[in-house]
Amino acid sequence: MMRRHELSEAYEYGSAAALHVRIEGATRGLRQIYGGVPTLVDAEIDPGDLYDYHSVSVGFLNTQLRIFRALDAINPERSFELPRLTREAFERNLRTASEALTRAYPSRANS
């Protein structure tokens, strides 16, 4: 079910970040400064480089959208107008955020 709704990678990432430390989670905040001491900085927000924060935020919201779509798929009888309109608005706003990320960081958008 998770593979069918493209949620396996999100599950693996969540598992790595929340359940136990894996190298990816441990190295996000590691900064190697040439000639200096390796330092762990705040892994959530680095004021000197906000791309990672914005990119992870958009990625999280993309996962939420996949979850919303999966919920719609497993409950096809549901015909409530409000959830559909809410998901469509969420999707439009997420598309706007993704486009803003690409415009703000053009050199990193495809990396």
Q: How far apart are CA 107 and CA 103, in angstroms?
A: 9
What global pTM score does this model have? Answer: 0.61
Query: Which of 24-28, 62-66, 79-83 shows the lowest mean pLDDT across its residues?
Result: 24-28
Q: What is the mean pLDDT of the chain?
A: 77
Q: How far apart are CA 75 and CA 87, in angstroms?
A: 15
Q: Which residues contact 31 (CB under 8 A, 6 or more apart)?
A: 38, 39, 40, 41
Residue 98 banded pLDDT, cuts 50, 70, 90: very high
